Amino acid sequence: MIEPLRMAFDVGCPAAHAFDLWTQRASSWWPAEHTVTAEQGVQVVFEARVGGRVFERTAAGQEVDWGEITIWDPPRRLGYRWFIRTDRADATDVEIRFEDQGDSGTRVEIEHRGWERLGRRGPRWRTVNQAGWNGVLPDYLRVCSRLATTERPAG
């Protein structure tokens, strides 16, 4: 078995906000250079249901599939088969948990697994995906933090 990638971090917003930002407003933080087309203005879409697609849509309307949703449990859990830049048969599994920590925000835990399905390519593809996560997560954290600050109700 190839060790899953595991990442965990805290965000200063409620779980519902963190889940919504990941799934319904991904275009606000997902860097264009981490898409297949690398086009500015590309939309990242999560269809809000088990069996829904994860894909990018260019300004010209071209759609490129990235994955398929396997767990849709807002605002607690999200899972998807992930095959961006690879064949659907070589999909790996991503599961994200959004654990509400009360006033202190949300703990986000990501597990990306299934590398052994890729045979000898598994370890290399895991390394490539680690670099990918390292490239997108800082933007998620930055936007989540900024939106949490600007969208807090006056109290």
CATH of domain 5-150: 3.30.530.20
Is residue 49 within 8 Å of residue 24, measured between CB atoms? no
Residue 149, pLDDT score: 59
Residue 124, pLDDT score: 95
Residue 155, pLDDT score: 42
- Joined together, the tokens standing for residue 44 give 């990242």
Q: Would you list the domain boundaries of the chain?
A: 5-150
CB count in 10 Å sphere of residue 27: 15
What whole-number distance in Å separates Cα of residue 133 and Cα of residue 115?
A: 15
Is residue 35 within 8 Å of residue 56, measured between CB atoms? yes
What whole-number distance in Å separates Cα of residue 9 and Cα of residue 140?
A: 11
Is residue 106 within 8 Å of residue 13, measured between CB atoms? yes
- The answer to whether the bond into 31 is cis (omega within 30° of 0) is no
Residue 62, pLDDT score: 96
Averages of pLDDT over runs of 10 residues in the chain (155 residues) are: 95 93 95 94 97 97 97 98 92 97 91 96 95 95 76 47
